């Protein structure tokens, strides 16, 4: 039995979701299954290539839905889970009992563990540490910006390697290890340690770079690091540098895409009427209400900068209005 697991690549929650699914499937469905992993990246074009679902069973975790008849398992928690309305309709009519969607969850890992326990009798307790940290990291549930950027915990260091290591096929090698090892053990693995030192230094340099390049005005931080190797930067650095800001809009680039990242300061109350996923969906992106992104082609950097500045302008108006509403009247 071959099981193809497609997961959100270069994402701590994506890797943890794949690990939880693997252990669940092995313990509750088929102990002899062979697992094959494919990292999925949000991009301007169709993410599901022909021949992708080549397993006897095929799963997607922490990534968009596919209406392919070859897809047998699906777990996701993003608002922008469906590429088109027909996909959402297809999901609503699915009666397999193996496809689950709940955007109220902070992480797909927590959603998957909960569903597997409640519906399939899976014992998720041995993975409690993994589930806990996936929920904190993906849900931005840190006590302070200092904790988020300090990278003191093994989970934060492992997340740095998963999200920013230059080795293209690293995460599929880590997923099987995540099913049985503690996070402290994970960061001691040679395939993690070889990347950790250089990435920690890169993280320290990125803070100086963002401080130099950030345009922090009217509650919004705008920065462009598309000329540097910084696509996997720590998304909490802008709020560490500018704790009074409400939103951040960043432009980065890699050989495969130009990316616009839009986020809300987790330590600030944001107006409920602003939904960043909906805002990014207007440009082909998506995500969650408080954090979202847009992926364009690698040759679309000029467009990416234009769209990012447009979004920053919109959010500055919102932030200014929000600040004005909070001022006491004399």
Every domain of the chain and the residues it spans? 2-193, 215-326
For residue range 297-308, what is the model confidence (pLDDT) as tens digits?
Answer: 989 999 999 999
For residue range 170-223, what is the model confidence (pLDDT) as tens digits?
Answer: 999 999 999 999 999 999 999 999 999 999 999 999 999 999 999 999 999 999
Residue 310 phi/psi, 5° resolution? Answer: -65, -45
CATH 3.90.1640 fits 2-193, yes or no: yes
Alpha helices in the chain (DSSP H): 12-28, 85-92, 108-120, 128-138, 145-150, 154-164, 170-178, 183-186, 190-213, 237-241, 276-281, 301-326
- Mean pLDDT of all residues in 256-281: 92
pLDDT at 255: 87
Say what the pTM is.
0.91
Over 90: is that where the pLDDT of 6 sits?
yes
CATH tag, 215-326: 3.10.310
Share above pLDDT 70 across residues of the chain, in percent, rounded to a whole number: 97
Mean pLDDT of the chain: 94
* Edge-to-edge order in the sheet of strand 99-101: 34-40, 2-8, 57-61, 73-76, 99-101
130-144, 184-198, 224-238 — which is least confidently predicted? 224-238
Over 50: is that where the pLDDT of 162 sits?
yes
pLDDT at 254: 87
Tokens of 181: 């090892």
More confident position, 302 or 269: 302
| Residue 223 CA from chain centroid, whole number | 20
| Residue 28 CA from chain centroid, whole number | 27
pLDDT at 222: 97
pLDDT band at 327 (very low <50, low <70, confident <90, very high): low
More confident position, 323 or 179: 179
pLDDT band at 45 (very low <50, low <70, confident <90, very high): low
For residue range 49-101, what is the model confidence (pLDDT) as tens digits?
Answer: 888 999 999 999 999 999 999 999 999 999 999 988 999 999 999 999 999 99
Please give the Cα distance from 106 to 104 (Å, whole number): 7
Over 80: is that where the pLDDT of 322 sits?
no
More confident position, 42 or 60: 60
pLDDT band at 326 (very low <50, low <70, confident <90, very high): low
- Mean pLDDT of all residues in 34-41: 95
pLDDT at 269: 86
Over 50: is that where the pLDDT of 330 sits?
no
pLDDT at 46: 66
């Amino acid at each position: 039995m071959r099981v193809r697991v497609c997961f959100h690549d270069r994402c701590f929650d994506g890797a943890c979701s794949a690990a939880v699914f693997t252990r669940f499937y092995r313990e509750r469905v088929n102990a002899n299954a062979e697992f094959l992993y494919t990292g999925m990246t949000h991009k301007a074009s169709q993410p599901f290539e022909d021949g992708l679902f080549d397993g006897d069973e095929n799963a997607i975790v922490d990534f968009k839905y596919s209406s392919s008849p070859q897809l047998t398992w699906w777990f996701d928690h993003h608002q922008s889970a469906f590429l088109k309305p027909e996909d959402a309709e297809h999901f609503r009519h699915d009666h397999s009992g193996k496809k689950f969607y709940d955007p109220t969850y902070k992480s797909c890992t927590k959603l998957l563990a909960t569903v597997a326990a409640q519906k399939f009798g899976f014992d998720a307790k041995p993975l409690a540490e993994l589930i806990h940290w996936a929920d904190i990291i993906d849900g931005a549930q840190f006590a302070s910006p200092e904790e988020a950027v300090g990278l003191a915990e093994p989970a934060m260091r492992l997340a740095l390697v998963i999200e920013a290591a230059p080795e293209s096929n690293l995460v599929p090698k880590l997923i099987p290890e995540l099913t049985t090892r503690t996070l402290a053990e994970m960061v001691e693995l040679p395939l993690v340690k070889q990347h950790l030192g250089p990435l920690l230094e890169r993280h320290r340099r990125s803070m100086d770079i963002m401080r130099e390049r950030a345009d922090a005005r009217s509650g919004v931080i705008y920065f462009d690091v598309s000329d540097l190797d910084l696509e996997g930067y720590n998304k909490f650095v802008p709020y560490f540098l500018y704790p009074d800001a409400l939103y951040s809009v960043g432009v980065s680039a890699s050989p495969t895409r130009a990316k616009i990242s839009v986020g809300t300061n987790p330590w600030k109350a944001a107006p409920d009427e602003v939904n960043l996923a909906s805002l990014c969906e207007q440009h082909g992106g998506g995500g969650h209400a408080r954090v979202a992104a847009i992926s364009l082609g690698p040759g679309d950097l000029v467009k990416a900068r234009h769209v990012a500045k447009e979004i920053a302008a919109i959010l500055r108006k919102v932030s200014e209005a929000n600040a004005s509403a909070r001022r006491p009247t004399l």
